[in-house]
Amino acid sequence: MKAKRLVTPADVLLSAGVFVAFLPYVHGRGHPALPVILALLLSTVLLWRKRFPIPVLIVCLTLSAILGVLVRRSYPATPGDLVALYAVGRYCGRRLAFAAAIGTMLIGLAVSEISESIPSYTVQNLGVLGMVPLAVLAGAWVRTQRTYVIGAEERAERAEREQEEEARRRVIEERLRIARELHDIVGHALMSISVTSSVSARFVEDEPKAGREALETINAVSNSALGEIRRTLSLLRGVAEPLKRPGLGLDDLPNLIDQSRATGLPVTMHESGRRSEIPAIVGFTVYRIVQESLTNINRHAEKVTKVAVTLTFTPDSLDIAITNDGKPVELLERGAYGLGIQGMRERAAATGGRLTTTALPGGGFRVHARLPLKEARP
């Protein structure tokens, strides 16, 4: 970053203009050389008015007093005084600028009354003194306008940054959502295919009919998974919104249960309560929670003899519980559930619900979620 210049070419031009404006002020008033030197010195001091506005004003008032005595002019009314007063209003706070204006007028009155060479203030020349607050007010007005413009620019930049951050956040959330979808779809499909194919290998020769049924299950599971993957990836092209218009729900649970049974998982499903109109996002969330839970049981549980999927409907909420009596492997005992459990929690939270997991005494694992029906978010 380049260092900011203390004196700019514009400052030099202004000081030169002030010196030229001094020439009529000091012309033909005796002591021709000294007033010109003082005017040049006063104009030079103005180069530092931005950095040291109050000291520059004090120096200018002092030099102007000497000039007033030499050329018998009203005080303070030199071009240098007005520029210094403007700088005080422009670069100082309101209180300091107000105090400087009052102090300058009092000094002007006092010097005019004390000095016999400087005209005293009368009704005719009070206008000279009136230029003091006008110069300060002009500087203060410019400062206020500049502050407003800078503030507006900063607000615009901040709004643009927030908009970009929001866009990045949405992109990240969308990527995580797609990753979660693919994790659920691919994980369940591959686990089902793996288990079914290992079983069907034993049936091909001894029980051809059971082998064909296993191969048909593999074909159905793979086709279903491919369809869901295509549908999920279409989100990248802006064609679909899986979470806003989900294609899976409660009515698809029987097929999911049948697929899991085909892999050898002893799954039963039970419903209680009166099923009312279920928001699509809730049905989709239930499907994914059950799907991921069954996949985790296949992956992380041993010696499973019973898996129970229970849906409990109330007027305000839907409770889902997936319980198994298998022996958990070390991964679950450590509580490191990975992306699957975390994804289920995020899905439940997206609808305003909550999901908990519990390791059961004596072995087994339970996943429970409560999803609101009346305030489910789309």
Residue-level pLDDT, tens digit, the chain, 378 residues: 444 566 788 878 887 888 887 777 666 555 567 778 888 888 888 888 888 889 999 888 888 888 877 777 777 777 888 888 899 988 888 888 888 888 888 888 888 778 777 777 766 667 777 888 888 888 889 888 888 888 888 888 888 888 888 777 776 776 666 666 666 666 556 666 665 665 565 555 566 666 666 666 666 666 666 656 665 555 554 444 444 445 678 888 888 888 888 777 889 999 998 887 788 888 888 888 898 888 888 877 888 889 999 999 988 899 999 999 887 765 444 444 456 787 788 888 878 889 999 888 878 889 999 998 875 444
User: What pLDDT is attached to residue 241?
Assistant: 46
Neighbours of 69 (CB within 10 A): 16
pTM score, whole prediction: 0.45
Contact 294, 322 (CB under 8 A): yes
Q: Which domains does the chain have, with CATH numbers?
A: 9-121 (no CATH), 248-378 (3.30.565.10)
User: What pLDDT is attached to residue 321?
Assistant: 94
DSSP 47: G
**Beta bridge mates, 322:** 309, 367
Instruction: Provide CB contacts within 8 A for 240, sequence distance 6+.
Output: 231, 232, 234
The letter for the amino acid at 84 is A
Instruction: Provide CB contacts within 8 A for 283, sequence distance 6+.
Output: 246, 248, 249, 250, 251
